[in-house]
Chain A
Amino acid sequence: MPRVTRGFVGRRPRDSRLPPGQYDAGDQWPVLTAERAPHLDTDRWTFRIEGLVEREVEWTWDEIGALPRERWDGDIHCVTTWSKFGMRWSGIPVDDLLEAAGPLPRARFVVAHSHSGYTTNLPLADVTGGRAWLAFDAQGGPLTREHGGPARLLVPHLYFWKSVKWVAGLRVLAEDEPGFWERNGYHDRGDPWREQRFQGD
């Protein structure tokens, strides 16, 4: 049980859309990056699915642009405790991309990696079933470089470090393999409603 802090009452009322420990960032969309935001040339951009799949598939910018997109509207939550309500996104369901590659029966996890080398791990179940997208647009316009443009992963039901910026592909695995922040102490799954911020939460 947390220890009560003398004199602390907190801000009220709490918005029911806020997971525990989060605050509403309002109109702002904070940028958090551990490295320089890369300038990615869409002429050379690719997205690849590899690993435990029937066939490895790689899409070019034009090829991926021809796939049908979906819109997703909702809230996002960052482990650094801000949440942003009512965002509008569009992208390609990860289900559609995985279906093209055909994960093998023993596939249970993915590592999503970026064009800059950043990695994060996700259970396959968290990027399938209509819960994850390869996103190109947010708030009605193309994703800016700072927010992961030209394309990032969108896994809005998990803390946002899982939604890899400048995403380059998914590696499908049988075993969980911690990514960049996970090896630095962050949780392997990152459910904001269960406050899975750090290892052991």
Chain B
Amino acid sequence: MSTDPGTRPTTPRRTLRWQAATVLGIRDEAPAVRTFTLGLEEPAHHLPGQYYVLRLTAEDGYTAQRSYSVASAPDGRPEIDLTVERLDDGEVSEFLHDVVVPGDVLEVRGPVGGWFAWTGDSPALLVGGGSGQVPLTAMLRHARAAGRPDLVRMILSVRTPSDLYYGDELHVPQVTPVFTRTAPDGSARPAGRLVLDDVAPLVRGGETAYVCGSPAFADAAAALLAEAGVPDDAIRIEQFGPTGS
């Protein structure tokens, strides 16, 4: 096999310390999806695509932690945006959605992950499903902030128009939304799953593809990319969410 993640450049090894993160703002993105803006005590530079681990601690010392992708671009501000989908029975996501208010102090550590990260200097094809929008949007925001939106093409598979996050930010020429359940009125493409005809026109050759979504989505999207001519070693995948065994 030609893929060799073992020898790729990676982030430096360093100890990740827990730090206080003050909730500065909370906003709705989509049904059951909210973005939490966290002010960091010890700001750190992140690459788009990296994530933070968030920890909750009960009075008796019981803790729960989950990892959330950073949605904000690395713009030097001492704060990060984490976008969290409220999962049924999700111990951490339910708490964040139902209990947390601005002013609360949580704990985070990061950034983590050097593989599913875009350094911003080479063409990238971003393929996201559902909450896969989060790290890919960090990449899009980074490209725009750097004045290189031309480096990025993004295709997002969501159920309905209201499942697109980040207001109108994704309604830009670099982003192709694909709706699986309900397409907007007058849409030329009927609602349906991502297919080769959606992906193939976006492949230019020479880009790295970043695929993010559920395991089933990521597997299907990576297969489409391969079919469209993207080499396996140019496809990076981040999956989250459970799958049946």
Contacts and interface: CB of A to CB of B under 8 A. Distances in A.
A23 interface: yes
Contacts of B239: 31-33
A21 B63 contact: yes
Nearest to B114: A184
Interface string B187-211: 0000000000000000000000000
Interface residues on A, range: 35 or more
A28 interface: yes
A200 B16 CA distance: 7
Contact of A198 (B5, B109, B226, B235): B109
A147, A178, A183, most chain B CB atoms within 10 A: A183
A65 interface: no
Contacts, number: 162
A147 B62 CA distance: 31
25 contacts: A2-B63, A5-B58, A5-B105, A8-B95, A8-B99, A9-B59, A11-B91, A14-B62, A21-B63, A21-B64, A21-B65, A27-B245, A28-B243, A29-B242, A31-B239, A31-B243, A32-B240, A81-B66, A81-B67, A116-B1, A118-B5, A147-B245, A180-B5, A182-B13, A184-B112
B6 A113 contact: yes
Contacts of B18: 2
Interface string B66-87: 1100000000000000000000
Nearest to A5: B56
Contacts of B16: 185, 198-200
A2 B17 contact: no
Contacts of B119: none
A180 B6 contact: yes
A135 to B, nearest CB: 14
Interface residues of B, number: 61
A34 B17 contact: no
A29 B243 contact: yes
Contacts of B107: 2-3, 5
Contacts of A74: none
B59, B64, B67, most chain A CB atoms within 10 A: B64
B95 A33 contact: no
B232 interface: yes
B55 A117 contact: no
Contacts of B13: 178, 182-183, 185, 199
A28 B238 CA distance: 18
A137 to B, nearest CB: 13
Interface of B: 1, 3-7, 10-11, 13-18, 20, 53, 55-59, 61-67, 91, 95, 99-100, 104-107, 109, 112-116, 215, 218-219, 222-223, 226, 232-233, 235-245
B57 A198 contact: no
Contacts of B3: 35-36, 38, 116-117
A31, A80, A178, most chain B CB atoms within 10 A: A31
Contacts of B65: 21, 81
Nearest to A6: B104
A30 interface: yes
Given A7-B100, A35-B237, A38-B1, 5 more contacts: A10-B58, A21-B64, A35-B232, A146-B215, A184-B113
B10 A184 contact: yes
